[in-house]
Amino acid sequence: MKQVRFLMVGGFLGAGKTTLLAKAAERLAARGKRVGLITNDQATHLVDTAILAETGSPVQEVSGGCFCCRFQDLVAAADGLIRQSDPDIVIGEPVGSCTDLSATVLQPLKQLYGELFRLASFSVLVDPSRLREALADGAASQFPDSVLYIFRKQIEEADLIVINKCDTLSPAGLAELEAMARRHCPDTPVLALSALRGDGLDAWLGRMAADRP
């Protein structure tokens, strides 16, 4: 049985996940890869679904709860993509407020459906300003501590921390953020890219071609 590469891109609201998925789908399709996309939110009729459909890749939607709460719906969505278009790669975009995705989604996929899916590293995409608010000593934040806690938990469970919007940063500013991320998660690799411009996209896709550690 063919194994489908499964990527999941987590991250807080506004990190740029939908833009990254759209650019990745277009880049992979240009290389002759068939891609399927899965969106997720508490609501229905997602704007992200409509945006990603414009890439030309098939899109399935898991609504009414996060991937962890609707795990079987996620599996059904992936199965629907496989039946619909026989993708080489499926990319899932979980809701921005979700944590513990490794334990509740990726490990069950590996244990229960390992013959079907080959898991890539779990990327967590971060917005530079949110990263600074959450990790810099004495930084002011518009978010309460409970929200910053969710943000920190998300990056702590990442296999790869991806700093997005690097085109908005100076080299010194980017180096500062990379150092913050490494201090907080010393064993987790950090990668910078611009989903909007495509800078660093190939490097990220190269990492996603490898199995999850």
Q: Is the pLDDT of residue 1 over 70?
A: no
Mean pLDDT of 176-205: 97
* Residue pair 26/35 in contact by the 8 Å Cβ criterion: no
CA–CA dist 23, 165 (Å, integer):
13
Could you give the CA distance from residue 208 to residue 206 in angstroms, rounded to a whole number? 5
Structure tokens belonging to residue 137:
């000593």
Ranges 36-40, 44-48, 109-113, 199-203: which has the least confidence: 44-48
Residue 195's pLDDT band, with cuts at 50, 70 and 90, is very high
pTM of the model: 0.94
**Which residues lie closer than 8 Å to 97 by C-beta, 6 or more apart?**
12, 13, 66, 150
SS3 28: helix
- Each residue's pLDDT tens digit, 67-77: 999 999 999 99
Contacts of residues 51-58 at CB distance under 8 Å and 24 or more positions apart, as own/partner, are: 51/18, 51/22, 52/18, 52/21, 52/22, 52/25, 54/22, 55/22, 55/25, 55/26, 55/29, 56/25, 56/26, 56/29, 57/25, 57/29, 58/84, 58/85, 58/87
* CA 165/CA 185 separation, integer angstroms: 20
